[in-house]
Structure 1
Amino acid sequence: MRRAQPPLRVAGSAAIAALVAGLLIAVILLAMDRPPICACGTIKFWHGAVNSSENSQHLADWYSFSHVIHGFLFYAAAHFLLRGRARHWALPIAVAVEGFWEILENSPIILNRYREATIALGYAGDSIVNSLADIGWMAFGFWLASRLPAWATIALAIAFELFTLAMIRDNLTLNVLMLVWPVDAIRTWQGG
């Protein structure tokens, strides 16, 4: 019988590596001509209007809940897949994967896919501030998962999914489904 792995903990050098990875991602996004902040000229902590040109432009929005869940999932994957010293680098690896998604999400191929397959018809991508905040929300989810029992993390993920489903008719599950395999009935319901 295999012994249970201890919880992942982030050491100082791994935290520094995660910050360096975040800065590298910001540089790449800047090179991709992503806007540093919202075109409105402000940085808000919360922007709750989904069908707005300011969606995905500020520090937090309805999709921040999905990024926290990303952190839960990355923590679980690292907890089960990484062994020995590799566990020390779980957070920088998670930041790199989330950062890769932020880069891909703001590339023409995914932006066009969102516009074609989802209700995000006018979606223009994220500001760099929002992308970095998304990475921060993921890191928060990773940290939270390292402190909570597994059942609480799972319950919180389900609560986030149900809450955002009720509030905006969207969540991580539907976002992935509609990006990969669009369903007309769901798109119609989301357009409400």
Structure 2
Amino acid sequence: MTAPPGLRPAWPPAFWYRIAALLLLIQAISLMAMGRVLICDCGYIRLFEPGVNTAGNSQHLADWYTPSHFLHGVLFFLLTSALFRHHALAFRFAFAVLLEAGWEILENTPMVIAHYRNETMALGYSGDSVLNSVMDSVFMGLGFFFAARMPVRVSVLSFLVLEIGTLIMIRDNLSLNILMLTWPVEAVKTWQAAGG
């Protein structure tokens, strides 16, 4: 059976998942081309880096900012559901990976690294390792599929729990990160620094 004239058959989900994988590869290659280290300069890989203002932060598989990337996935699911309601989940996922990979590349430019150092609590931030950056995108994907499988109320509750939890643990979270990157508030920076 052929499609009616003017209508193109949809790409199968496998196509969009391959596009997502290609975007992750482009992310990794771009970061290496920018001079980012592949893994932590310490020479080993941790499952979780507990220190926030340490040389190991943003260098290993996960850290205290991993929940923020998971929440990127929840938000990207909601965004793509609104923008691309009639598109396949796989297409929306590939679009979410495009957004995350683009952010990860931008986040590791000298301009954004300097802004993090000057305007946020990340005083010693020197950028992500390639491993950490790609894992940030993987955790975004986990958040995306979590939101795709769960009722909206569960996603909202998870968002609140992760935001409040990281706020309590490290005086930072996705909301404060966005605030301090876009509209730095000196009182927030002072409060965050007092917790370190």
- TM-score category (smaller protein): over 0.9
Per-residue CA deviations over 1:50-70 (Å, capped at 9, x if unaligned) read 010000000111100000000
Task: Determine if contact 2:17/2:90 at 8 Å carries over to the other structure.
Answer: no
* Higher Rg of the two aligned structures: 2
- In the other structure, the counterpart of 1:3 is none
- In the other structure, the counterpart of 1:37 is 39
- In the other structure, the counterpart of 1:78 is 80
- The 2-side partners of 1:141 and 1:185 are apart by 31
- The 1-side partners of 2:165 and 2:90 are apart by 33
Structure 1 vs Structure 2: percent identity of aligned residues? 45
For structure 2, the residue ranges without an aligned partner over 5 or more in a row are: 1-11
- In the other structure, the counterpart of 1:14 is 16
Q: CA RMSD in A?
A: 1.2
Task: Determine if contact 2:13/2:88 at 8 Å carries over to the other structure.
Answer: no
User: Counterpart amino acid of 1:160?
Assistant: L
Per-residue CA deviations over 1:88-118 (Å, capped at 9, x if unaligned) read 4111111111011000000011001111101
User: Counterpart amino acid of 2:23?
Assistant: A
1:101 to 90, 100, 103: 103
Map of 1:56-95 to 2, 5 A cutoff? 56-85=58-87, 87-95=89-97
- The 2-side partners of 1:87 and 1:58 are apart by 29
Structure 1's 145 and 124: CA in aligned 2 closer, same or farther, altered over 3 A?
same
Residue 131 in structure 1 maps to residue 125 in structure 2 = no
Count of residues in correspondence between the two structures: 183
**TM-score (normalised: structure 2):** 0.90
Per-residue CA deviations over 1:70-98 (Å, capped at 9, x if unaligned) read 00000001111104346541111111110
Task: Determine if contact 2:53/2:123 at 8 Å carries over to the other structure.
Answer: no
Per-residue CA deviations over 1:136-179 (Å, capped at 9, x if unaligned) read 00000001001100000010001000000000000000011011
Map of 1:179-190 to 2, 5 A cutoff? 179-190=181-192
Map of 1:149-168 to 2, 5 A cutoff? 149-168=151-170
1:118 to 117, 120, 129: 120
For structure 1, the residue ranges without an aligned partner over 5 or more in a row are: 1-9
User: Counterpart amino acid of 1:129?
Assistant: L
